[in-house]
Structure 1
């Protein structure tokens, strides 16, 4: 498959960023002309970018239209399994390879995020930056690439588990424990702490979805 042209790469990145940031959410229809106007590019790179996103299963067909894809229960469960494995490995490698400066940044992130507990949207954005910092501290480019793909799919979830009452405070305590294990160079402990963090996030999301279905029913 030939590499995408520069223009289509830019359009791809802009659309992907818009999905990541919640401008376009699961189920939203993406129209070439509207995207071209929004991003100030021609329709050709937009079309190529949409085709690429569809190939990656980030967009789905709804008749003749393309919509932002959503994840069903099984897809969500599968994603969390992979995420737990990869994130645990990232924490293990961070405990082994992170520089003192990287550990300091992680610690400062946890402290700063305490002020965001009452704002789930802001906390979710900062949470993503925190996890990305752990990925980078693993010093394994291939692992970082795979986790980028996982987080790309995470954008297809309509809500954040951090919106559940009390989850923000719990997540912050979990982040504190993860960083403490990385600081201590405890590879097993860092792996275990991050896996536990992802597992509880998944449990919270399942309860969130069950409550939504009960309300709709």
Structure 2
């Protein structure tokens, strides 16, 4: 029984740290300290240590001397990630067009309409954007695809900024979301696939331009 309880605590510690990284509480380059994490999450240091080791193995954390920091992605890693994300997201949209229930489509439509109020708040819009894409993943009704996309989006948390912070991108992204949902509503799998791939491609281009501008300053 004690062993089972320990596994539950370990899982919670891992999930809590991962959630904090995904939510931007810890960003690429931030140092993670066992004692501080244990105090923040109300967990003993042993499961925290084990969770940190697991995250390091998964390349979510990196070594900086003797310290562990939240990893960051270089240009090539980011490009590789977007290649995989583009294809998997497109596939999810195609399957959602075939398998989404009317209720799931309604939720997607409501998200597009409600998220319009968040334009101008990049952080809130980024959280809403993750929810929107997650809903498409679930609407695909393919558990293996959902698992792979969870891994991809976990790695997306290692990007220090959101492309939605670029002026005008939030409004444009929502218009793209609207077209994606329209294709899913019609049950047009090919249009949903192409439209979502184009959406991710434009987000990548926006990010590349933003990074290039930052380097030239």
User: Would you say same fold, with TM above 0.5?
Assistant: yes
**Post-superposition CA distance 1:102-125 (Å, at most 9, x none):** 001100000000111111110000
Aligned partner of 1:53 among 52, 55, 67: 55
Deviations 1:78-109 (A, max 9, x none): 00000000000000000000001100110000
In the alignment, what sits opposite 2:191?
Answer: 189
Show the 5 A alignment for 1:19-168.
19-168=21-170
Take 1:93 and 1:39, find their aligned partners in 2: how far apart are those partners? 38
Q: Look up the match of 1:209.
A: 211
> Structure 1 CA distance, aligned partners of 2:74 and 2:137?
26
Distance 2:108 2:38 in 1: 38
In structure 2, the residue matched to 1:199 is: 201
What SS class does the counterpart of residue 29 from structure 2 fall into? coil
Q: CA RMSD in A?
A: 1.0
Question: Any idea what SS the aligned residue of 1:53 has?
Answer: helix
| C-alpha displacement of 1:202 | 0.2
> Gaps (5+ residues) in structure 2?
none
- Aligned to 2:13, the other structure's residue is in SS state helix
**1:6: which partner in 2?**
8
SS at match of 2:77: helix
Structure 1 residues without counterparts, runs of 5 or longer: none
SS at match of 2:216: helix
- 2:175 counterpart residue number: 173
Structure 2 equivalent of residue 17 of structure 1:
19
Q: Secondary structure at the match of 1:5?
A: helix
- C-alpha distance in 2, partners of 1:51/1:159? 25
Shift in Å, 1:193 = 0.2
- The runs of at least 4 consecutive aligned structure 1 residues that moved more than 4 Å come to none
Shift of 1:7: 1.4
Number of aligned pairs?
213
